[in-house]
Amino acid sequence: MSQLKLEPIKFPGVDLKRPMIIAGPCSAETEEQTLSTARLLAAMGVKVFRAGIWKPRTRPGAFEGVGSIGLPWLKKVKEETGMFIGVEVATAHHVYEAIKHGVDMMWVGARTSANPFAVQEVADALKGVNIPVFVKNPVNPDLELWIGALERINGAGITQLAAIHRGFSTYDKTEFRNHPQWQIPIELHRRIPELPIITDPSHIGGKRELIADISQEAMDLNFDGLIIESHYNPEKAWSDASQQLTPEDLKKVLDALVLRRPSIGDTPRNALDELRKKIDQLDNSLLDVLKERMKISEAIGKYKHENNITILQSRRYDEIMKDRTDRAVSRGLDADFAIKIFESIHEESISCQSAIMNKELKSKEGK
Ligand SMILES: O=C(O)C(=O)C[C@]1(C(=O)O)C=C[C@@H](O)C=C1
């Protein structure tokens, strides 16, 4: 279990009831663009303004941010609108510059959180500073690495900590820019329940049309907030033009969010209790069936050992996968869901038979 020392995030004077909203352009491009966007966001009630100043780009040659000259623009945003301001930091220099210009919150980007040396450098530079720091998931789907980055920042004395879920890189092209893999932030929440999780639908979706659905999904999973890219003229943005919303469209997305009760509380329980009882019974039956199947697998393992047959039987495995997927689909179940289940069953079956072979071998050798 991770032992983070956490305190609630504080932006003095701001009521941070769910969802916490952080919005602003992907990049601060000019003073005029930064301030015009900020004024529109402030007018619609946004309290925390984000803007990238240093942009880690995948390939050289793309716009890499205006650098420190953008920080005074953010300071003006703060003075003029009263919004809190946040930037991404990836090096000690970024942290020092941000602190010098009165930045209120910082986040560690996905490429940085994948690199423990870089995270440690940022953490060391943050020592003695008491501001909220948000840590994006690493680009690769590695929960331990994400928790490690949070621990490093926390180890520097940062207690106002949150995680940002921005999705994960995949080699395959999917409808998402970064696959959400919701099970990873869900597991993070299970492991560290008091750590706020903020979803970044702009980076998950990569397209503005997906932002509303991803935001709703995050709320349905009871995550704590949203960080959404917003630009007064997204089409003309210098970076990530396709995943930014106008402040007006952002307002529409936020107004349409349905916030459900996080716990069952005082809703009528009877119907739910009945359904949960059924789930308990069915899960029990599933476990009985799985136990029965493993017994058969064990018997096959013994047979294979006695007759000197390999454990893996690829043709039979292929047949099973095809047959079970078809049967699942004909029952209205999702094919990928069936594949995951039967892959996992096969893996367990292989490991059970390997254990049998090794045991039998050792007893034959008198070990
Ligand atoms: O049919 C077998 O040979 C088995 O051992 C069963 C089983 C399975 O669990 O489905 C396990 C391993 C093989 O690769 C194929 C199938």
Q: How high is the pLDDT of residue 92?
A: 98
268-289 average pLDDT score: 92
309 CB near ligand 1 (under 6 Å): no
Atom of ligand 1 nearest to the CA of 345: 9
CA distance 78 to 168: 32
Residue 320 CA, closest ligand 1 atom number: 10
Which homologous superfamily does the CATH classification assign to the domain defined by 270-364? Chorismate mutase (1.20.59.10)
Task: Name the residue of 289, 300, 314, 345 whose CB sits within 8 Å of the most ligand 1 atoms, as the mutation to test its pocket.
Answer: 300
Quick count: other Cβ atoms within 10 Å of Cβ 27?
A: 25
- Token pair of 119, please? 């995270």
- Do you know the residue count of the chain? 367
Q: In this predicted structure, what is the pLDDT of residue 16?
A: 80
Q: What is the DSSP letter of 262?
A: S
* Closest of 205, 89, 186, 173 to residue 141, by C-alpha: 186
Expressed in angstroms, the distance from the first to the final Cα of the chain is 37
What number is the average pLDDT over the span 320-345? 98
Query: Is the shortest distance between the CB of 42 and ligand 1 below 6 Å?
Result: no
290 lines ligand 1 (CB under 6 A): no
Over residues 242-265, mean pLDDT = 93
Pocket lining: 346 vs ligand 1, CB cutoff 6 Å: yes
Q: For 208-246, how does the pLDDT look when each residue is reduced to its tens digit (9 = 90+)?
A: 999 999 999 999 999 999 999 999 999 999 999 999 999
367 pLDDT above the threshold of 60: no
Per-residue pLDDT at 84: 98
The residue-averaged pLDDT of 312-336 equals 98
Paired with 229 in beta bridges are 24
Q: Whose CA is nearest to atom 10 of ligand 1?
A: 346
CATH 3.20.20.70 matches 20-256: yes
Does residue 297 have its Cβ closer than 6 Å to ligand 1?
yes
Q: Spell out the residues 6+ positions from residue 218 whose beta carbon is closer than 8 angstroms to its own.
A: 19, 165, 199, 201, 226
Alpha helices in 44-171 (DSSP H): 71-81, 92-100, 110-113, 116-126, 143-155
User: Which residue type is seen at 7?
Assistant: E
Residue-wise pLDDT tens digits, 143-182: 999 999 999 999 999 999 999 999 999 988 899 999 999 9
Nearest to 51 by CA among 87, 91, 76: 87
Give the mean model confidence (pLDDT) for residues 66-88.
97
* Whether the predicted pLDDT of 267 surpasses 80: no
pLDDT at position 271: 84
Contact 102, 134 (CB under 8 A): no
Q: Is the model's pLDDT at 304 over the cut of 60? A: yes
pLDDT of residue 172: 85
Ligand 1 in contact with 81 (CB < 6 A)? no
Atom of ligand 1 nearest to the CA of 317: 15
Distance CA 180, CA 200 (A): 10
* Cα-to-centroid distance, 181 and ligand 1 (Å): 29
Return the percentage of the chain with pLDDT > 90, whole number: 87
What's the confidence (pLDDT) of residue 316?
98
Of 173, 172, 181, nearest in space to 143 by CA: 181
**Domain limits, the chain:** 20-256, 270-364
pLDDT of residue 134: 98
Residue 270 has pLDDT above 80, yes or no: no
17 three-state secondary structure: coil
The stretches of 142-269 forming alpha helices (DSSP H) are 143-155, 183-191, 201-205, 211-220, 247-256
3-class secondary structure, 228: strand
Residue type, 36: S
pLDDT for 265 = 73
Q: Comparing 172 with 311, which gets the higher pLDDT?
A: 311
pLDDT in tens, 91-143: 999 999 999 999 999 999 999 999 999 999 999 999 999 899 999 999 999 99
**What are the tokens at 199?**
């979803």
Residue 264 has pLDDT above 80, yes or no: no
pTM exceeds 0.90: no
pLDDT, residue 61, reads 86
Q: Whose alpha carbon is nearest atom 3 of ligand 1?
A: 313
Average pLDDT over residues 331-342: 97
Atom number of ligand 1 nearest to Cα 309:
3
Ligand 1 close to Cβ of residue 313 (< 6 A): yes
Q: Is the peptide bond before 132 cis (omega within 30 degrees of 0)?
A: no
Instruction: Please tell me whether residue 107 adopts helix, strand or coil conformation.
Output: strand
How many angstroms is it from 346 CA to the middle of ligand 1?
7
Is the beta carbon of 349 within 6 A of some atom in ligand 1? Answer: yes
d(CA 201, CA 19): 13
pLDDT of residue 1: 60
* Residue to mutate, 304, 312, 346, ligand 1, most ligand atoms under 8 Å from C-beta: 346
